[in-house]
């Protein structure tokens, strides 16, 4: 199939997602929320929702908001890519830490056990939507309280689901992963490439 699109919009403030798209060779422009938008409000949890359902719902809500933004700004038509990542222990969703104490509780919970990193990616334009979900398993080694505190003091946990980033010094704690390294970073490249091909995006 001949390529229908030469570029996409990335509706994400994550520099890691932009870097991962660059790794695929995907031309993209950022389509970020304006000050009038409640971007954080889209990530509110619903009681009883599984982490997998939560991530897919939030990603689609981000996509709807981004498509409205695209129309409101009168920008050229191109597919919009959104993504959301969360960390889960059993059915407990571990989002971005609220403060140092929350980050400490999260990392103490992850220490010495396995958790899931769930990332959804969605591509949309007009009425068309495509969504894929990647689930990876990550094993953390046991951690001492002072190791956790030192990591929190670095500022790295903030703004990150599960209070850590795999490409940071926390990588020294990860004894095993099963799944997608790029998905754990925030954008599963295998699933993303599949969606882009389905849409005829050149990369």
E strand residue ranges, the chain: 8-10, 28-30, 80-89, 92-94, 114-125, 128-140, 174-178
Q: 87: number of CA atoms within 13 Å, CB side?
A: 26
Beta strands 8-10 and 28-30 are parallel
8 A C-beta contact, residue 115 and residue 88: yes
Chain-centroid distance of CA 197 in Å reads 20
Residue 92 β-bridge partners: 89
Catalytic residue IDs: 84
Beta strands 92-94 and 80-89 are antiparallel
Taking the alpha carbons at both ends of the chain, their separation in whole angstroms is 13
């Amino acid at each position: 199939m001949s390529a229908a699109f030469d570029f996409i919009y990335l509706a994400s403030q994550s520099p890691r997602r932009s870097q991962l798209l660059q790794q695929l060779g995907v031309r993209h422009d950022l389509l970020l929320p304006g000050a009038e938008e409640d971007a954080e409000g889209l990530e509110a949890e619903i009681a009883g929702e599984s982490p997998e359902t939560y991530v897919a719902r939030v990603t689609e809500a981000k996509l709807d908001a981004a498509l409205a933004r695209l129309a409101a700004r009168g920008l050229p038509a191109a597919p919009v890519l959104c993504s959301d990542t969360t960390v889960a222990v059993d059915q407990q969703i571990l989002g971005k830490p609220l403060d140092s104490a929350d980050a400490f509780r999260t990392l103490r919970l992850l220490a010495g056990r396995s958790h899931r990193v769930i990332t959804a990616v969605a591509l949309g334009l007009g009425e068309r939507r495509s969504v894929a979900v990647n689930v990876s398993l990550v094993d953390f080694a046991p951690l001492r309280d002072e190791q956790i505190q030192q990591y929190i003091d670095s500022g790295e946990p903030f703004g990150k689901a599960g209070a850590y980033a795999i490409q940071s010094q926390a990588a020294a704690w990860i004894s095993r992963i099963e799944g997608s390294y790029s998905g754990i970073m925030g954008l599963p490249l295998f699933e993303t490439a599949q969606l882009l091909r389905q849409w005829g995006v050149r990369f």
